[in-house]
Amino acid sequence: MAGNVVANVYANALVEIGQEKKILDRLEEELGFIVGLISEDRDVEIYLNAPGISPDAKKEFIDRVFGGEFSETIVNLLKVLVDNGRQALLKSINEAFVELLDVVNNRQRVTVISSMKLGKDVLDKVQASLSEKLKKNIILDDAVDESILGGIILRMGDIILDGSMANDLKNIRHNLLNSKVRGDRAYED
């Protein structure tokens, strides 16, 4: 939990700097790229987190690898993280940063889960409908889960809207098991 609090502090500072310099989109792209690189290249992650390598050597590495290609803000963030021994929080900082940018840019991330791959036209309709109802820019991610049988499930943060056939069947089963039957009539208490 404390890691998330610290990550939020760095993410907030990055948003403030990005707004001040009007480079939020660039910072989002660069930070996402670096987090992806570190996730894919285990050697970079090990090097940056190795306790036996001095902070100065790590900062020199950051300058050599990221210096000419990335904004000064991102390079400085990486160096500050190394100075404070917080480089392991980079992924959490990126997640917190993206969440803050979603608020700043009026974006909502939605995962659409269906029993089979949905076509672009269907996803576009879902996106347009959600955008109209929520009055936000919708960023869709689609996933397939054959166990839902049909329909779709929408996941927006902590909110789940379940329009799947599996859920409907579960509800019907629940209602049938909880109804009481006398003679030819069904009733509920």
Q: b vs e for 63-81, b when ≥16 Cβ sit within 10 Å of the residue's Cβ?
A: eebbeeebbebbbebbbeb
Are 2-103 and 107-178 equal in CATH topology?
no
pLDDT, position 96: 96
Residue 1: pLDDT over 50: no
Amino acid, res. 100: L
pLDDT bucket at 124, cuts 50 / 70 / 90: very high
pLDDT digits (tens, 9 = 90+) for 6-58: 999 999 999 999 999 999 999 999 999 999 999 999 999 999 999 999 999 99
Q: Which DSSP category does 145 fall into? A: -
What rounded mean pLDDT belongs to the chain?
90
Structure tokens at 104: 């700043």
Amino acid, res. 31: L
The residues spanned by each domain of the chain are 2-103, 107-178
Report the C-alpha gap between 64 and 128 in whole angstroms.
44
CATH number assigned to the domain with residue range 2-103, chosen from the 4 options 1.20.950.20, 1.10.10.10, 1.10.520.20, 2.60.40.3140: 1.10.520.20
**Sign of the four-CA dihedral 16, 21, 26, 31:** negative
Structure tokens at 61: 């590495």
Find the radius of gyration of the CA atoms of the chain.
24
SS (H, E, C) 16-75: HHHHHHCCHHHHHHHHHHHHHHHHHCHHHHHHHHCCCCCHHHHHHHHHHHHCCCCCHHHH
- 130 contacts: CB under 8 Å, gap ≥ 6: 108, 110, 136, 138, 154
Domain 107-178 has CATH 3.40.30: yes
Residue 138 bridge partners (DSSP): 108
